[in-house]
Amino acid sequence: MEETLAHPLEKYLRTEKLPHMWCPGCGIGTVVQAFLRAVDELKIEQDKVVAVSGIGCTGRIPQYIKFDGAHVLHGRAIPVALGIKLARPDLKVVVFGGDGDLASIGGNHLMHAARRNADLIVIMVNNFIYGLTGGQVAPTTPKEATTYTSPYGPDSKPLDAVKLVSAAGGTFVARWSTAYPVLLKESIKRAFSHRGFSFIEVISQCPELFGRINNFKSTYEIYQKIKKVGTIRRGISPYDAKYDWNSEISLGEFVNFEAPSYYDQLREIIEKAKGVKE
């Protein structure tokens, strides 16, 4: 009998759920792998991580990885995750969501989680469209792109989530792409050790629903585009970071500083009020 070698990350996967629902060439797998490698290298106990998601292709991640998790309503992963974190501050709570989930219907929650410096890691996979519903225009869709609900391009300019989260008060804000899986993994590791709100956007390819309609004839072509447009800029301000499909989408860690997290701030108020003793 031929011996089959287990995948080094297999213990983190719900193998009974495989094969997964993502299309061939999708970038989400790269994000999952970077995340699992980060957890593995940091030797974080599996039962200390909770994965929460809303709706969307990226929202399916918690189904496939072996951590406790919740798959909740479209856009609402962040408030659910915050509830989990407040009830169990000892857990690492990670939110996975797409741009359609976190920057659109859940945009308000993203903004306020950043404002509160909520103790969460939010990984937003940006494929520029609503993928799961079939490729409709999203708030992140570049002006130059075509989608199934914007045959002549979007009606307004895209939202740069890095600037939004930075302006709202996020204390760890980064953007990477699927072309840099190792840098992404390292960034996720730093997010794990960061106290407060960590936001990582990952520019990712959707070859089927964003690629085809925009004349990328293969996964390779759209991947090359993502590789080319993503430019690493170290030490620049998030407000100088570019989000431009034609020239440059800036990658890097734009914000990283220490500030009292939401949990710290709550403890402070409790102490001031001389309330509950731990």
Provide the minimum distance between the beta carbon of 241 and other proteins in the complex, in angstroms, as a whole number. Answer: 22
Q: Which amino acid is it at 132?
A: L
Nearer Cβ to other proteins (33/149): 149
Nearer Cβ to other proteins (136/224): 136
Provide the minimum distance between the beta carbon of 53 and other proteins in the complex, in angstroms, as a whole number. Answer: 11
Provide the minimum distance between the beta carbon of 139 and other proteins in the complex, in angstroms, as a whole number. Answer: 6
- How many Å separate Cα 144 from the centre of its chain? 23
Nearer Cβ to other proteins (156/218): 156
Strand partners, 97: 124
Contact 26, 68 (CB under 8 A): no
Q: How far apart are CA 180 and CA 182, in angstroms?
A: 6
Provide the minimum distance between the beta carbon of 127 and other proteins in the complex, in angstroms, as a whole number. Answer: 14
Nearer Cβ to other proteins (58/104): 104
Nearer Cβ to other proteins (33/150): 150
Contact 230, 55 (CB under 8 A): no
Nearer Cβ to other proteins (74/92): 74
Provide the minimum distance between the beta carbon of 150 and other proteins in the complex, in angstroms, as a whole number. Answer: 7
For the beta carbon of residue 278, count every other beta carbon within 10 angstroms.
4
Cα 43–201–216 angle (5° rounding)?
115
Provide the minimum distance between the beta carbon of 245 and other proteins in the complex, in angstroms, as a whole number. Answer: 18
Provide the minimum distance between the beta carbon of 81 and other proteins in the complex, in angstroms, as a whole number. Answer: 16
Q: How far apart are CA 208 and CA 228, in angstroms?
A: 19
Nearer Cβ to other proteins (163/225): 163
Cα 81–278–69 angle (5° rounding)?
20
Provide the minimum distance between the beta carbon of 197 and other proteins in the complex, in angstroms, as a whole number. Answer: 21
Contacting residues toward other proteins, per CB under 8 A? 55, 71-75, 100, 104-105, 107, 130, 132-134, 136-137, 139, 148-152, 154-155
Nearer Cβ to other proteins (148/245): 148
